[in-house]
Structure 1
Amino acid sequence: MRVFIFDVVFIFLLTSCAENSDPKILFDKGEYDKSLPLWVELATKGDALAQNYVGIQYYLGLGTERNYQQAIEWFEKSATQGFADAQYNLAVMYENGQHVQQDYTIAAMWYSLAIDKENEHARRRMQGLLDEHKLFPNQYNRAKELAQQYR
């Protein structure tokens, strides 16, 4: 019986520790001030998922002051490693001119890279650029050329 109680307590403590050290769990629970330092630790080691989450937290001001420049830098680090969500985030920013100079060619480049990773949101946004005639054929071709450096 003692062994069983010890096992239950031990498992509870392990689970509790895991939840307190897993930035995704903390982020999903809305504990942004606790998740950010953990994401940053992973991000500085080159973790693309963590870099994207650091970008999100800076962009939205979750657990920190909003800092769009920091957000862009972290999104770029993640995106250049091929992380589709970060590529999509940057594309939307460039398409809408959100804290960057609006540039449909750069937006299309990032959308194109995210599409390569089966990101359906990127596919729809790229189609919108084409359907709304915001992106001309020469810009589209240039975006494809630019994307080659990240493939």
Structure 2
Amino acid sequence: MTERQGTKAYLDKDYAEAKTKYEEAAADGNADAMYHLGVMYAEGQGVKQDYAKAAQLLQQAATLDQDDAQLMLGMFYIYGDGVPQDPAKGAALIKAAAENRNDTAMYYLGRLYALGLGMPKDLDQALSWMQDAQRAGFPVQEELLTKEGLAALDS
């Protein structure tokens, strides 16, 4: 219940209340609250922007298989936001989110395979993940649904 109260406050832009409710729910082990609180720290919403604190919260949620946290933390590792840059670790987290059927993670995993970023370049895997993302509802650009289009990402 507290996590939902936090989300209502967040949507109402009452970030102080959202933070309080998310902190309470996170202390009770609610992975969604950990994720939402991490987003607040990453975006500087109602708190001072702090990528390291965001990464810590996202890691706690990712450990509990919260797929949005896995994706966001993976991107932190790809770019080195709040954590040491580690594309392989980032790719592994994004892959975990994709395997949890997160359509956005499927898309980004396809891009990572196409670019060979954090993992070996593999256009077959890239295409497969792009197709999965599209089937799951992600708006994949038509050119990324072919090996030629995926290969062009690298140029």
State the SS of the aligned residue for 2:116.
Answer: coil
Alignment of 1:115 onto 2:122: no
Q: Check whether the contact 2:91–2:119 (CA below 8 A) recurs between aligned residues.
A: no
Deviation digits for residues 26-84 of structure 1, max 9, x if unmatched?
10111111110110011011100000011111111111111222111100000000000
Alignment of 1:63 onto 2:46: yes
Q: Read off the aligned partner of 1:31 and give its amino acid letter.
A: D
Structure-2 change in CA distance of 1:34 and 1:136 (3 Å): closer
**Greater Rg by CA:** 1
Q: Structure 1 length normalisation: TM-score? A: 0.73
Structure 1 segments (4+ residues) deviating >6 Å: none
Question: What corresponds to 1:143 in structure 2?
Answer: none
Q: Read off the aligned partner of 2:12 and give its amino acid letter.
A: K
Say which structure is richer in helix: 1
Q: Check whether the contact 1:39–1:54 (CA below 8 A) recurs between aligned residues.
A: yes
Structure 2, gaps ≥5 residues long: 122-155
Q: Percent identity among equivalent residues?
A: 24
Alignment of 1:89 onto 2:72: yes
Question: What corresponds to 2:25 in structure 1?
Answer: 42
Q: Distance in 1 between matches of 2:79 and 2:117?
A: 11
How far apart are residue 134 of structure 1 and its match?
Answer: 2.1
Q: Check whether the contact 2:43–2:49 (CA below 8 A) recurs between aligned residues.
A: yes
Q: Check whether the contact 1:34–1:63 (CA below 8 A) recurs between aligned residues.
A: no
How far apart are residue 95 of structure 1 and its match?
Answer: 1.3
Alignment of 1:76 onto 2:59: yes
Question: What corresponds to 2:135 in structure 1?
Answer: none
Q: Structure 2 length normalisation: TM-score? A: 0.71
Q: Check whether the contact 1:51–1:78 (CA below 8 A) recurs between aligned residues.
A: yes
Matches within 5 A, 1:129-140: 129-137=112-120
